[in-house]
RNA sequence: GGGCCCGUAGCUCAAUGGUCAGAGCAGGGCGCUCAUAACGCCUUGGUUGGGGGUUCGAGUCCCUCCGGGCCUACCA
């Protein structure tokens, strides 16, 4: 038994996430967490809402709520949706928690003591009308290069030229349209990542087997141009974690807060502390996951995230942890994902394009989405959601191959033997061969799951379901029954046990369906089938069961067309 | 502009430089009748984006061209 720490990239507070966000971090992290638990490992699975930053303030302003209230409300909404998708977090925290305030300020203090913080005076655009400094991309104006009138202060979307906000002609606030912008001097803290470049570089080099996507992005940042640049870790905002040096004030930094990307990863740690508090445990309970000098030496730490998050997890956050000079647990493996596209374009939160988590659950139960999303996870390249593909995959894999197997076995047994596991007969060669084929496939499934090869795991699991249908076809208990009822009883006894085995194996992908299967069998034994023969004899003769409702209803053409039309344009 | 990734069957995707490039779906044929018209077996289908090169051997390595995508540090 190992101890596995799993974190999923934090969803931003600013609205409901779409399926692309879900499959890029939380869902595969949940799959892995569930798998690790099923294999008997001790798991700490952490996620949280990422609540600070300009977009959160603006979203709150739009609804007229105080930002703290807005975040509390949206945290509730996201928590509900996480439950809806059966995301099995040990704790779903908030980056605005007191724990995160303390830890973030602690790290800043340690970094300052280590000489890794620089104070930099810089000029930034301020909008008196908005009462705030404007991040570059919140300034719009005419592109000096191509004349595009809605160029952003960081880059012109039309001609892709990199811009400085002061380059823009007729600049205005993208928030209010105000044109009375001025340049003000302000002081900010920078994390001196450049001083840690070699250390980070060596650390990345020492990691074996990370996805190309992960290491190539890290290497690019480390070696591009002059190498890794220092990074501003404070902002002039109201909502956030006040800049402090540990518990002490930071002269000259009054009224400023830490940058979200500084405090968000620290929330992984803080959320574990939140968990401990919620469980009524002491600090040692969470520190044994995070401090190698306090018990985390044998922890394996795995992070899940979309590719846009990679630089912060490979560089900034490790720099924060290493730079503190304290023995914090560093990540051991980073599983990163590409993007899921929607009907040939991108899912888009701002444009409301695609299917969002709340809408998905209104349409179908979570298992349908979990299965499709995970079996098509964008691991090697961007992948594509289409309604046709979704319908075909779900109907074939879930309804026909798995669901129908459960149906045919339980209904056949009920009609010939009644609703209890039938007695009689003994295994022959066919059953031994099946057990050995299953053992082989299960080993492959286990290996793919352990390696976090998501799509390959799904394919192996499906192949295991197919073995059951093949067995039934060959054994043909419906004809055996006419001449040799005892053998038919043995065959169907095995098939009923196969349902339990499938439930145990499928639980990480399909928690609800697995539960329904177990409930129908009136069984609570989720034991992983390490010994397949034993697993296929687990339910004894005479054990009662019930025929379950149809596990997965098929998606009709009408429903598919209806949804395709409904989600074709912007979110209503 | 720079960097990275991808391009394989109608579709979605596999293949440490080494048998005849494989699966699932879709298509075609056969079988079965327990089951959600479900299941099983067989089968059609490829100049691996184009062109060069290295090698005994290239989907895989190198060059080049075409096409798609991502990142490029003040959104997060």
CA of A513 to C1' of B75 (A): 38
User: Has residue A6 got a pLDDT over 60?
Assistant: yes
User: Has residue A163 got a pLDDT over 80?
Assistant: no
Contact A336, A305 (CB under 8 A): yes
Reported as a pLDDT band with limits 50, 70 and 90, residue A383 is confident
CB < 7 A to strand B: residues 292-351, chain A:
307-309, 311, 339, 346
Which pLDDT value is given to residue A476?
A: 96
Cβ contact A400 with chain B strand, < 7 A: yes
Q: What's the whole-number average pLDDT of chain A?
A: 92
Cβ contact A194 with chain B strand, < 7 A: no
Cα separation, A39 vs A429, in Å, equals: 30
Find the mean pLDDT for residues A467-487: 96
CB atoms within 10 A of CB A359: 17
SS3 A410: helix
Q: Which residue has the tokens 């299967």?
A: A517
Find the mean pLDDT for residues A320-340: 92
For residues A523 and A223, which has the higher predicted lDDT (pLDDT)? A523
Contact A261, A191 (CB under 8 A): no
Which pLDDT value is given to residue A177?
A: 86
Nucleotide nearest to A477 (CA to C1'): B34
On whether the pTM is more than 0.90, the answer is: yes
User: Has residue A572 got a pLDDT over 50?
Assistant: no
- Beta pairing class for A91-94 and A42-49: parallel
Among protein residues, the one whose C-alpha sits closest to the C1' atom of B13 is A376
Q: What are phi and psi of A335, to 5 degrees?
A: -100, 110
For residue A33, how far is the Cα from the chain centroid?
10
The ipTM value here is 0.92
User: Has residue A571 got a pLDDT over 60?
Assistant: no
Find the mean pLDDT for residues A50-67: 92
The 10s digit of each residue's pLDDT in A238-254 is 899 999 999 999 999 99
Which pLDDT value is given to residue A381?
A: 79
Q: What are phi and psi of A382, to 5 degrees?
A: -60, 145
Reported as a pLDDT band with limits 50, 70 and 90, residue A83 is very high
Cα separation, A518 vs A270, in Å, equals: 36
Q: Poorest-confidence range of A66-75, A124-133, A397-406, A505-514?
A: A124-133
User: Has residue A485 got a pLDDT over 60?
Assistant: yes
CA of A460 to C1' of B58 (A): 29
The 10s digit of each residue's pLDDT in A256-296 is 999 999 999 999 999 999 999 999 999 999 999 999 999 99
Cβ contact A124 with chain B strand, < 7 A: yes
Structure token pair of residue A8? 């999923």
Nucleotide nearest to A125 (CA to C1'): B74
Which pLDDT value is given to residue A166?
A: 82
pLDDT over 90 percentage in chain A: 71
Which pLDDT value is given to residue A160?
A: 66
User: Has residue A15 got a pLDDT over 90?
Assistant: no
CB < 7 A to strand B: residues 215-234, chain A:
216-217, 220-221, 224-225, 227-229, 231-232
Find the mean pLDDT for residues A147-159: 77
CA of A211 to C1' of B65 (A): 29
The 10s digit of each residue's pLDDT in A341-354 is 887 777 877 777 78
Q: Which residue has the tokens 């695609």?
A: A354
pLDDT over 70 percentage in chain A: 98
CA of A333 to C1' of B22 (A): 30
CA of A437 to C1' of B44 (A): 29
Cβ contact A211 with chain B strand, < 7 A: no
Q: Which residue has the tokens 């149906």?
A: A407
CA A8, A13, A14 angle in degrees (round to 5)? 130
Contact A94, A71 (CB under 8 A): yes
Nucleotide nearest to A409 (CA to C1'): B34
Which pLDDT value is given to residue A135?
A: 87
CB < 7 A to strand B: residues 22-81, chain A:
50, 52-55
Which pLDDT value is given to residue A492?
A: 97
Nucleotide nearest to A471 (CA to C1'): B40
Reported as a pLDDT band with limits 50, 70 and 90, residue A155 is confident
Which pLDDT value is given to residue A539?
A: 97
3 state SS for A327-390: CECCCCEEEEECCEEECCEECECCCCECCEHHHHHHHCCHHHHHHHHHHCCCCCCCEEECHHHH
SS3 A416: helix
The 10s digit of each residue's pLDDT in A418-437 is 999 999 999 999 999 999 99
Q: Which residue has the tokens 């298992």?
A: A367
CB < 7 A to strand B: residues 484-543, chain A:
none
């Amino acid at each position: 038994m190992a101890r596995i720490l799993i974190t999923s990239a934090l969803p931003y507070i600013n609205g409901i996430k779409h399926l692309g966000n879900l499959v890029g971090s939380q869902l595969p992290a949940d799959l892995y967490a569930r798998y690790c638990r099923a294999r008997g490992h001790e798991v700490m699975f952490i996620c949280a809402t990422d609540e600070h930053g300009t977009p959160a303030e603006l979203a709150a302003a739009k609804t007229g709520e105080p930002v703290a209230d807005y975040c509390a409300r949206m945290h509730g909404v996201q928590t509900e949706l996480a439950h809806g998708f059966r995301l099995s977090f040990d704790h779903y925290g908030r980056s605005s928690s007191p724990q995160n305030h303390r830890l973030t300020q602690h790290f800043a203090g340690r970094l300052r003591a280590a000489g890794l913080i620089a104070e930099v005076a810089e000029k930034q655009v301020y909008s008196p009308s908005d009462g705030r400094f404007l991040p570059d991309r919140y300034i719009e104006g005419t592109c000096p290069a191509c004349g595009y009138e809605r160029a952003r202060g960081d880059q012109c979307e039309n001609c892709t030229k990199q811009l400085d906000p002061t380059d823009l002609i007729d600049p205005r606030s993208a928030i209010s349209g105000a044109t009375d912008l001025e340049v003000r001097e302000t002081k900010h803290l920078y994390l001196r990542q450049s001083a840690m470049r070699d250390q980070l570089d060596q650390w990345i080099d020492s990691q074996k087997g990370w996805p190309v996507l992960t290491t190539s992005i890290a290497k690019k940042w480390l070696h591009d141009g002059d190498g890794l640049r220092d990074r501003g870790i404070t902002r002039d905002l109201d909502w956030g974690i006040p800049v402090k040096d540990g518990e002490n004030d930071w002269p000259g930094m009054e009224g400023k807060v830490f940058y979200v990307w500084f405090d968000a990863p620290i929330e992984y740690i803080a959320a574990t502390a939140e968990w401990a508090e919620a469980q009524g445990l002491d600090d040692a309970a969470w520190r044994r996951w995070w401090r190698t000098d306090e018990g985390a030496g044998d922890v394996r730490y795995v992070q899940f995230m979309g590719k846009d998050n990679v630089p912060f997890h490979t560089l900034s956050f490790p720099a924060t942890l290493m730079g503190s000079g304290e023995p914090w647990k560093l990540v051991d493996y980073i599983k990163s994902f590409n993007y899921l596209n929607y009907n040939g374009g991108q899912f888009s939160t701002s444009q409301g394009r695609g299917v969002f988590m709340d809408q998905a659950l209104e349409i179908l139960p979570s298992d349908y989405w979990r299965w499709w999303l995970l079996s098509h996870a964008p691991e090697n390249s961007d992948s594509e959601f289409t309604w046709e593909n979704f319908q075909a995959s779900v109907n074939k894999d879930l309804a026909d191959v798995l669901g129908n197997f459960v149906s045919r076995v339980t209904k056949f047994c009920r009609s010939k033997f009644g609703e209890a596991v039938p007695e009689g007969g003994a295994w022959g060669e066919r059953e031994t061969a099946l057990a050995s084929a299953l053992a082989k496939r299960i080993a492959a499934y286990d290996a793919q799951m352990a390696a976090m090869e998501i799509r390959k795991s799904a394919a192996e699991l499906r192949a295991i379901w197919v073995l059951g249908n093949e067995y039934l076809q060959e054994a043909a208990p419906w004809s055996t029954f006419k001449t040799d009822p005892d053998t038919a009883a043995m065959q169907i006894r095995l098939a009923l046990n196969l349902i339990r085995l499938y439930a145990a194996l499928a639980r990480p992908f399909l928690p609800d369906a697995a539960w329904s299967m177990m409930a129908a069998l009136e069984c609570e034994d989720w034991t992983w089938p390490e010994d397949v023969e034993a697993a296929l004899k687990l339910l004894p003769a005479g054990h009662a069961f019930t025929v379950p409702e149809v596990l997965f209803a098929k998606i009709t053409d009408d429903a598919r067309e209806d949804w395709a039309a409904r989600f074709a344009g912007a979110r209503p």
